[in-house]
Chain A
Amino acid sequence: MGSFVLEGRYALRERSVVLSLALTLLVACWAVIAGALETHKQHAEISWILEATQADKATVLAGQSDAGGAAYGMHHVTYEPPTPLAFAAIGTREDLPWQHWLTMLALEGQIYEADIGNPELSRVGRLDYAFLVSVLLPLVLILLLYDLDSRERRDGRYELLAATNASPRNPLLAKAGARTGLLFLSTSIPFAIVAVIENVAVLLWASVIVISALHLLFWLLVCRFVTHRTAEAPTAATALLACWLLFTIALPATARMLAEATVVIPAGGEILLEQREKVNDAWDLPKPVTMTSFIASHPEWEAQARVTQPFDWKWYFAFQQVGDEFIAPQSNALQAGIARRDRLMGWASLLSPPLATERWLTHLAGTNRSHHQRYMACVRKFHASLRHFHYPMLFGQQAFSPAVMAGLPSYKPCSDRLSGS
């Protein structure tokens, strides 16, 4: 332990080390503060939207005289609040939708929103803590460690060091370890401070720190392994860069190509087109055809399923439901395909520590793919509950009244063991 502290002090006497550490500290502060501001902005946006939706629903409802009109006119909002840890890994919240604006109409036509943020900025990506730890820190570490051995060799001290050191096989381990430790502190301290301010559960932020430490440890070992065997600093640096390129870019990119080539998913455009055909065909089909399909999945309304007028709200919403049910196999296949691709990337991350780090951090922050899919499932569940609420009124079992409408379901984010603070 003592030698680490001593080596740390030595390291801080070097200008390039101090400069790298200061810059890292600055970037880390920027990353966690910008992340925290972003999550606060998202929370504020959600409260504004919830309040405005409440007012919007009340206004629409006031002008309605029947259940069908009310169901048709009202919009509902669904959202996924950022977890306390989301500031550290923005993940899917950058470019996948985390809020929706829905009506009782067929859901498949409404759920595939894109255009969430500014695409030109999404493309560049965020400078968040996860990016810092998984991509930048290894590079900084390489810059700090690549010439340790060659410098000692050049100055003719290497043999002496090897002879007098406690660990003669790797005499510079303490020196490298001290530098890694300093780099680790320069990012973990700002992270931990913001994590505590943001009320992140101790276990959660401690896990983040452990993951970051393990990732740095991996790169420390890679650096030691390479520089120990290479006499020249430039050769060592080149080899280390090659490792960084391999683990950070080449392996994940290859894995992605393989995952997308092996898991074929239905085209989104086709889902939309087919769904619309099914919904719109109903206007020209005899009413019993639609109602029979509807009864097949909702036998409880069989007695009330007769439609006598050219237009009837119950028939209108029945064909919306039938349209969704018709396209459900493709829609499920799409979600299953996305999940499968993600699982394959999970396996691939066993080979790429940077990818694994990124995946673990977004997992803990609730901003990974599976979390997003859980949100989408939650939206579907909410939409189903809306239908469930409206059908008794549409099918004439319950009278439309403000008292009944007061029980209108409103969206609650699905509980998740990670989202609590």
Chain B
Amino acid sequence: MNSAWRIAREEWRYWLRSKTATAVGVAAILLIATSLVTNYLRIDAERDARQQLQAVAEETFRNQPARHPHRMVHYGHYVFRTPAPLAIADPGVDPYTGTVMFLEGHKQNTATFAPGYTQALTGPLATLSPALVYQLLVPLLLIVMGFASLAREREARTDQLVYTMSVSPTTLWLGKSAALAVLAMILSMPLAGITALAWLGGESVVISFVFWLGYALYLLCWVLMITAGSVWQRRASSALLVLLASWLLLGVLLPRVASSAAEASLPLQSNVRNNLEIAKALRDAGDGHNSADPAFNKLRAQLLAQYDVEKIEELPVNYRGIIAEAAEKKQTEIINRFARRRVDQELAQASAANRFNLLSPYLALKSFSITTANTNLEQHHQFLRDAETLRFSFVQQLNKLHATELAYVDDAKRSIDASSEQRARIDPQHWRMLDGFESERPGVTARLTTALPNLAILVLWILAAAFAGQRGAMRTAQQTNG
């Protein structure tokens, strides 16, 4: 073991003397620091802005004057999606999903204003988030540092010298891997710092640690793949070729193949098409604005029988309000059926793309990262569901007020008679019904459970790379001896 550490120390000494290593170090520091700082500032500013706007939206709703309750149904409310604490490390789908959603009666609007809508377009890879830097660029830098670690010794035949000092090939390989692993761990420290910030920002300590651990395992996986590549190739330059080609395949090409394949095999229906289908389904269910709609005949007969009266004017409740409430319930069921279909389609696509995770540690880590950070598709769907729950709750509260607080006669004449219109308004104290909006986040255990398969894939890759590296070390030693 001691000699492995000695070899690792020597490798470090070699790096400290080399100009390439210095350049790589500077590049790594610059990339990591820039990505951490800019992403932190961006997410922090977004969070502040969205929370502030959320407060403004709630305040203005509360401060509305006396009105007809159905006016408030259409006045509506806005909810803003606040990024999860770990979004400062991996913003996930945040730039591609709407940040604000308008909630009103009879309609489920989509989230609007995705951050990507206003950003300067830079081409496909130049969004420097810490996630991208650690997932793609740090492995690249590790390749540059480590591709020659074993191949170099063999090219210069210095490995023979080491073996004569009763150092086994496995130890040499282990030492070189340890040197690179230490470098990887040092590079992962800023990430540990940012996860600590996320912890201070309200993330669970277990999740923050596991998030870092996932990245550490991923980098370790690359370290072992690099030393394995270096040990199996006869020349340093061909080791570099193989490693770069692997990086290109695993990190750049395969993810896009996976997502294109998912998109082509399970096409997503456009929102406009969904809207058209919803409109048709809603038409068949009856219009809540029109109390004469035949769709409500049964409800009307039932109410008349229940209160034992002849005409709807004689009902102790406002028939229009009752209709509005019943219609909203029915419409919401229909709308939610379509919303669930859309969610299912998106999830099916995502899981089709995730089927490739076993083929690339990059893909496994990418999925692990967004599920653990809570910046994945499911979290966006959770936001949509929570917004819908809030929408339905305040709209139905308003419809209840419509049924109980207003007289049917005034309500029916309010569009043509000014004094009825005045009487068909209710006190603004009723607008104090919103108690803030916070999208629910899955708990620690739930997230760990979903993260586990991807962590297992990383461990598998680590074992495979270690096995290949050790085998390669033994083989080359035999070859040169024999």
Q: Give the B-binding residues of A (Cβ under 8 A).
A: 16, 20, 27, 30, 34, 37-38, 41, 45, 48-49, 52-53, 56, 59, 75, 77, 79, 92, 95-96, 99-101, 109, 112-127, 131, 134-136, 139-140, 142-143, 146-147, 150-151, 233-235, 237-238, 241-242, 245, 248-250, 252-253, 255-257, 259-260, 265, 267-270, 272-273, 276-277, 280, 283-284, 309-311, 334, 337-338, 341-342, 344-345, 354-355, 358-359, 368-369
Contact = CB atoms under 8 A, between A and B. Distances in A.
Given A114-B114, A120-B377, 6 more contacts: A37-B264, A118-B263, A134-B124, A146-B240, A249-B126, A368-B121
Contacts of A310: 414-418, 420-421
B253 A95 contact: no
Contacts of B263: 38, 117-118, 121
B80 to A, nearest CB: 6
A216 B225 CA distance: 30
B121 A309 contact: no
B78 interface: yes
Interface stretch (B163-171, B268-276, B307-315, B387-395): B268-276
Interface of B: 20, 23-24, 27, 31, 34, 38, 49-50, 53, 56-57, 60, 65, 67, 71, 74-76, 78, 80, 92-93, 95-100, 102, 110-114, 116-128, 137, 140, 144, 147-148, 236-237, 240-241, 244-245, 248, 252-253, 255-260, 262-264, 267-268, 270-273, 275-276, 279-280, 283, 346, 349-350, 353, 370, 376-377, 380, 414-418, 420-421
Contacts of B96: 95, 114, 119, 122-123
A237 B244 contact: yes
A114 B283 CA distance: 26
12 contacts: A77-B272, A92-B121, A118-B350, A124-B353, A135-B252, A234-B147, A253-B128, A272-B78, A273-B56, A276-B78, A310-B418, A311-B415
Contact of B53 (A92, A134, A270): A270
B122 A369 contact: no
Contacts of A146: 237, 240
Nearest to B422: A310
Contacts of B49: 267, 269
A236 B241 CA distance: 12
Contacts of B279: 56, 75
A153 B253 CA distance: 33
A331 B120 CA distance: 17
A99 to B, nearest CB: 5
A359 B119 CA distance: 15
Contacts of A309: 415-416
A255 B122 contact: yes
Contacts of B257: 30, 127
Contacts of A252: 122-123, 126
Given A143-B245, A237-B240, A114 B27 contact: no
Nearest to A362: B121
Contacts of B93: 119-120, 122-123
Contacts, number: 270
B27 to A, nearest CB: 7
A20 to B, nearest CB: 8
A221 B329 CA distance: 67
Given A122-B96, A131-B124, A150 B57 contact: no
A135 B38 contact: no
Contacts of B140: 241, 245
A126 B260 CA distance: 6
Contacts of B114: 95, 114-115
Given A121-B350, A358-B123, A269 B113 contact: yes
Contact of B112 (A119, A122, A242, A268): A268
B380 A119 contact: yes
B111 A121 contact: no
Contacts of A95: 96, 114, 116
Instruction: Describe B's contact surface by its main secondary structure.
Output: helix
Given A52-B273, A245-B27, A124 B120 contact: no
A248 B128 CA distance: 11
Contacts of A267: 49, 53
Nearest to A248: B125
Contacts of B112: 112-114, 268, 272
Contacts of B262: 121
A283 B421 CA distance: 11
A244 to B, nearest CB: 9
A111 to B, nearest CB: 9
A269 B272 contact: no
A124 B255 contact: yes
Nearest to B262: A121
B270 A280 contact: no
A120 B376 contact: yes
Closest 5 CB pairs of A and B: A268-B113, A114-B98, A127-B256, A233-B237, A252-B126
Nearest to B350: A120
A260 B120 contact: yes
B110 A255 contact: no
Contacts of B380: 119
Contacts of A272: 78, 100, 102, 112-113
B236 A118 contact: no
A256 B122 contact: yes
A92 B121 CA distance: 9
A248 B418 CA distance: 66
A344 B122 CA distance: 11
Nearest to A343: B120
A52 B76 CA distance: 29
B99 A268 contact: yes
A99 B272 contact: yes
Contacts of A147: 237, 241
Nearest to B116: A95
Contacts of A118: 263, 268, 346, 349-350, 377
Given A241-B140, A355-B123, A120 B253 contact: no
A404 to B, nearest CB: 23
A83 B67 CA distance: 49
A126 B124 CA distance: 9
A52 B353 CA distance: 31
Given A120-B377, A136-B253, A256-B122, A114 B113 contact: yes
